[in-house]
Chains A and B, each alone.
Chain A
């Protein structure tokens, strides 16, 4: 097992180098110059060319692209992500500040997603063809189809603007520093309600549909029939015999949710002015902040690779039919 993990990790190194190279060159092939964001072109024309050259040298923009690539890769290998053009601070520091905010949203969203998605899915499957099942299947399809960021806007409109129950945006109130410890905790939670709800509701709908289908697949298997024939109670049949097998593909999905943890809330963060990784990435793209764009892309690529590995490992761990070589035994 450990050998398998090590082998997969070693194999993913060339993959990540490939991704890094592709990202770097695509980014530098793009038209436009980061200098234009730093200084408007009309000012650049009036300025002393030497000053502009000096700025270029400082940001390393004066060197030919292959040299920049070599430097960037070398720094990346030692864990140095470079300095942001826009904030003029190390990219790693910037990301380190933003990550906790995104994690608050996404971890909570995943928890609610699993809790409600799986239980609704089970309920719908057990009560197949009843009204409840129809409401869950159709309702989840509708919810799943509504764009999350629009739902967020509408919820803000109703619950924040009209009713004033929740804040419209930000992570904390203006008087946050004046509150007691528990007041601060409550304030944070109060700001989390809407974004977490929006994030979890759509993915819970997807999970419910998936869970329902998987459980129905399993319920038509012969061993379920056998369990029923032995006179086991329906509750035991479903929870002990069927559910365990139906959960296997669901667990795999959560293994692959790793990249979602950091990159899944781009639009929602934008609606709620939430200072997370998503907002950082969008700002970087808008402002041609190349080091930040490269760093966020690399981070998410690493997460995808590790997430896939985790999914495979959990799959092998929960399903004894799967061996670590990835082949299904007969």
Chain B
């Protein structure tokens, strides 16, 4: 069943997150093939500026820099809420992440306090597939827009 277009414009948030250095490091380590809490054990090498605080202190940023897709930890809430919103009524068992796009306006560092708001911006169907896109905006403690996300789910009907 196609997603009702009246849901376009539904809003979620604000959601606040404080970025934590350990979480940035664990994220970079796990993505590189390691286990959480075991920096150095990754089979691949995480970029040192996202995983090694001493190397990051000597970098142009002076501290750890969140990897680009660390945004999942602080900017996904509106998308997750929309996917599980009983008013929209998507079948979660048949739902998959279809597309993702980020636009970066600034870097994210530990101790940043980030606020994310999101809105359903598009629904459409293609054959047996229903798509829903949520656009998120994340601002930091200085009210600077740091990341815009476009999150698209597909439901196989």
Partners in one complex: no
B contacts, CB < 8 Å to A: none
